[in-house]
Amino acid sequence: MNIAIVGYGKMGKVIHELLTARGHKISFIIDQDNRDQLSELNGDNTDVAIEFSRPESAFANITSCISHGVKVVSGTTGWLDRLSEIEALVNETQGTFFYASNYSLGVNLFFKLNRQLATLMDAQDYEISMTEIHHTEKLDQPSGTAITLADGILEKNQAKTDWINEESTDNTKLSIISERKPNVPGTHTVSYTSAEDTIEITHTANSRKGFALGAVKVAEWINDQNGMLDMDDFLKI
């Protein structure tokens, strides 16, 4: 396949290594220094673009690719307030867009576990909170993975009505504490605490390779797909 890499930070470089090892051709590498080349991507020279860029660039990157007939796999977080516009563009152009806040198989199983635990703990006398730790280069807070976890809790547990990215004395708010430390790929912990005990579930990423490999596998799969897609479609869970 001809695959473009849009965003060439640490994740983009790992994706590049995996694509090459799996026999794919890199049609373009687009980063901040050559964003003007983004308009050169089209359905003739590129099958799929894997987009891991920055929150302020993601919407424009995705829009350009879809408008030029290129399918997009995106993992950039911090821009989803404009997701409905991408959905409208996909419908208008009969394009293809795949989004996940996290491409790790383990994390997506963790999402399911989180929702199940939130269901089991509904109406129990436990305070719910969350912490997420990432590398210091990560710009957005909380992480997209943390937001997905929070949304799962809010859907399945009536104790919380919204999340907030700080400690809170409002019992209706789900507190998410974000920490940034050197060389941490990502750790997420959901805690249920009472006077008697604490129940916690944690996912710890040991490297970026799991995230990158998931994105590459999705890019290989999406070549035969159309429309708005996510990890549930890919994993069939």
Respond yes or no: is residue 24 known to be catalytic: no
Q: Which among 122, 115, 103, 96 is positioned nearest to 223, based on CA atoms? A: 96
- Convert 73-105 into a string of H (helix), E (strand) and C (coil): EECCCCCHHHHHHHHHHHHHHCCEEEECCCCCH
Q: Catalytic residue among 16, 24, 138, 203, which?
A: 138
215 sits in which H/E element = helix 209-222
Respond yes or no: is residue 134 known to be catalytic: yes
The string over 141-159, giving b where at least 16 C-beta atoms fall within 10 Å of a residue's C-beta and e elsewhere, is: bbbbbbbbbbbbbbebbeb
Q: Catalytic residue among 16, 24, 71, 134, which?
A: 134
For the chain, the C-alpha Rg in angstroms (whole number) is: 19
User: Measuring CA to CA, how many Å separate 178 from each of 47, 89, 113, 134, 142?
Assistant: 36, 33, 21, 8, 6
What φ, ψ does residue 47 adopt, rounded to 5°? Answer: -80, -45
The CA distance from 136 to 1, in Å, is: 34
6 and 48 Cβ atoms separated by less than 8 Å: no
Catalytic residues, by residue number, are 134, 138
